[in-house]
Structures are given as C-alpha cells and as structure tokens.
Amino acid sequence: MNCLNDSRLEQFQQLKKEIRGSEQHLIVGIDAAKEKHRAFFGTAQGKTLLKNLVFDNTVEGFEKLDATVERIKVQYGLSKPVFGIEPTANYHKPLAEHLIKCGRMVVLVGGVAVKNNRQLLNGRWDKNDDKDSANVADLIAQGKCLFYEYPLMTLRDVRVLLALKRRLTKREHGISAYIRNNIIAQYFPELDKHYGPADTLAVVRECLDPSAIAGMEYDEFCRTVAPGKMTLAKERRVGTIWRIAVNSIGCIMGEAASYEAQVMVDSLRQIRQSIKSVDDKLEDACLQFPEYTYLLSIPGFGQDVSAKVLGAIGNPYRFTSAKQVLEMAGLDLCAKRSGKTSNTATPVISKQGKSDLRNALYQAAFIASLKNTDFITYFTNKLQWRATEKGIGTKMRIKLSAKLLIIAWTLMKKKEMFASVCFKMEVRPKYIKI
C-alpha cells in the first residue's frame, strides 16, 4: 500500500533488535509542544550528550535541530540517529513529517509509557517538560517505542473524513438530545413519544406551542408540518399529535422559545446534511482502495463499518500477527492475575484501542449473527450449554467482533473476497476466547 512505509517498517523492526546497548545510535528524545519543542540527546548506553535543546516549531527551529544532530554525530562518532516523539495533540505531526521527508528514523513513544517510566528515572511522579524529553530517550534506549506510520494521502483522506464524521455525529446527538430533553420536555412533553421522523421536527420548528396546534384545523396543521404526499403511517402520527395537543401539560411558550426551537431544528438539519455529504465523500475516498471491496463482502460490513476498518488497519502488512490487530482495536483480553485468585481471574477486553472501531465491529457482529446462515450457526454453537449465563449473548458477539476483525485483516492481506468456506475452516485463535 505504501513502499516508503514498508521500508521504514523494516528499518523499525531492525532498530528494535539492535537498539539496546548499541554504540552506533544517537537517540534524540523530543517533547513536542505548540510553539517550542525540547530535545534530549543521548546514547543507547545511557550516556547524556546534550540535556535540553529548545527549538521553535518553525523551519528555522527544525534546521537548528538538524544542525545539532549532525554536530553531535561527528563529535561522538555516532552514525545512526533515532528521533523519538511523544504525541501531543497534533503539534508533533509537522516535525515528524519533516524528519521523515529528510530520511530520518522516527519512532513514537506512547504517553502512558512516558508516565509510567517517569517514576523510574527520579523516583517521583512530577511532570517536568525539561525531563520528559530525557524520559522519551530512555524508553527508546530500552526498545519501548512504536512504529510511526506515515500513510499515503489517500489513506489520510479516509481518516480525516472519519474523524470529521465522528465530530459531526457527536454534535448531531447533542443537538437532538437538547431538543428532546429541554425544548420538547418543557413545552410539549407528550410529543416525545413520537420524536424522530421529519414531520416531528417540523412540529418543533413550525408550531411547537400546543395551544397554537389546538386552535388549528386538522388540514391546516397537516399542510404546515407534513406538506406533500402523506403516507398512512405519517397521517396516523400527525393525527395523533394534533389530538394530544388539546390536553397538553406543556408550559406557555413565548416568542424567544419559538425562535430557539427554529434555530435548533435548522442546526440539526444542517448537520445531518453535512454528515450525508461526508458519507458521499468518504465512499469516494474508500473506493480508491481495492481492499474496500473485499471488506464489503464480509457479512455485516456496510459502508460505514468497512470505512472504519480500512482507516484503522491501513496497510495490513504493518501487523505481523492477529494479536497486534486485536490490540489495535482494544479487543485483546487481559486480567489481573496475582496470588491465589490468579487461576480464577476472568479476562475482559482491554478497551485500550479504538472505541469507534470496536463499536462498529460489534454492530457488524450483531447483524451477521442475525442475517447470515454461517454466522448464525457459529453464534448458536457458542451459546450451546451457556444460554442461561448472564450476559453471554454480549460476550459472544464481542468474540464474533474479534473474529470479524481478523477476517477483515486476512482478506486485506490476501486480496480476496469473503467466502463462507474459509469461515468454517478457520481455526480459532486462543487469545480471543472469552
């Protein structure tokens, strides 16, 4: 999917093997910030070369970092510089991209690892920007770093659109909840049972005041909230709203409240239109990947789930095992095993990965376990002898979610469409048992 990434991945795997105690590597730990970055220079043997280099988040600052690296390489006879960055919002991305374009080796150090390693350096938990860069360098010297992915622009577009859709969806839910729990609950609480369809939103925008609805003829009310063709279900719903408005217990509604209802409904409609536009754009971006078609062939995988899986996995060859894929999604199992209870501890999913991906996979598992014959059989067999166990249905669907993710990853690597024969013959990995 990306030759540059494949080459960098090989270099990273080689780095992990030879970094400990290396006499050739110059380790540059960087604490990224919005305006100024801090860098620490050291060796894999624990020797400090330069404690605190402060450079601006500008071209001049990046050139200062490059010049310092070249000077220290010559001064101490080090030939392999490694740049480790702790991600801070999006502030680290311009620097990392600059270094990668210059052919530098860039690795990622997780924030949790930095926090846990802080006490080992000085016996304290205090946060100090000057020491964080040294902390990053210390973790790299131990080989405790991650691959910094540099995807193609097409994959970046998919991820940007997924993030945009996630933000818009969150805003949509917020506005919808406000309309329902604040405006409708105050002025027309009986309408809440019918909330959802477009004609209900039209009631909120055009005539939410029950006293105004009670004073309108039925035909006039229909023309106001549901113009055009009237289906039987819509006619029944509109008629019910018109009748219950007579005995509504809602508060008296003023002009300001009516204006607020109009603004909120217009905002909700605009966001929904934006989400639809993003979906169209996202589908066009996904269709540039042949892997997207393979994902759509999996039962339960629609456009939304396939796009999220494609965006999360990206290049399938950067994962060397199915366990790494499950860890990326947070579907790997973990438990506190200590003392006498170690053998009886119940493992649960870690939830340390991508929550959106887990949710999408669960929805796909739910649909597949109801609609597809092979998955129905698989799900039913899992429930055998355990049907009365509390929460067993949810547990088995989580297990099926993990299985679907492994299937998706495998199809992306092999560039094949889903086949039920492959599903039946697949061996169950031990690490997704529940």
pLDDT of res. 433: 44
Under a CB-based contact definition with an 8 Å cutoff, are residues 121 and 157 in contact?
no
pLDDT of res. 129: 62
Half-sphere exposure of 156 (CA within 13 A, CB side): 7
How far apart (Å, rounded) are the C-alpha atoms in residues 195 and 326?
38
User: What letter would DSSP give residue 50?
Assistant: E
CATH number for region 155-283 = 1.10.287.4070
Structure tokens at 328: 């990326």
CATH number for region 3-150 = 3.30.420.140
Residues in the chain: 434
Which segments of the chain belong to CATH 1.10.287.4070? Answer: 155-283
User: What letter would DSSP give residue 197?
Assistant: S
| pLDDT tens profile 313-339 | 998 988 889 999 999 999 888 777 777
How far apart (Å, rounded) are the C-alpha atoms in residues 46 and 38?
18
User: Consecutive 10-residue runs of the chain (434 residues): their mean pLDDT?
Assistant: 71 89 91 91 91 92 94 92 89 92 91 78 62 88 89 92 96 95 93 86 90 89 84 87 90 92 95 96 95 94 95 90 91 75 75 90 93 87 80 88 93 89 51 43
pLDDT of res. 401: 93
Which segments of the chain belong to CATH 3.30.420.140? Answer: 3-150
Q: Which residues contact 230 (CB under 8 A, 6 or more apart)?
A: 222, 238
Under a CB-based contact definition with an 8 Å cutoff, are residues 329 and 362 in contact?
no
Under a CB-based contact definition with an 8 Å cutoff, are residues 354 and 41 in contact?
no
Question: Long-range contacts for 80-83 (Cβ within 8 Å, ≥24 apart)?
Answer: 80/22, 80/24, 80/25, 80/26, 80/105, 81/25, 81/26, 81/28, 81/105, 82/15, 82/19, 82/25, 82/26, 82/27, 82/28, 82/107, 82/140, 83/28, 83/30, 83/107
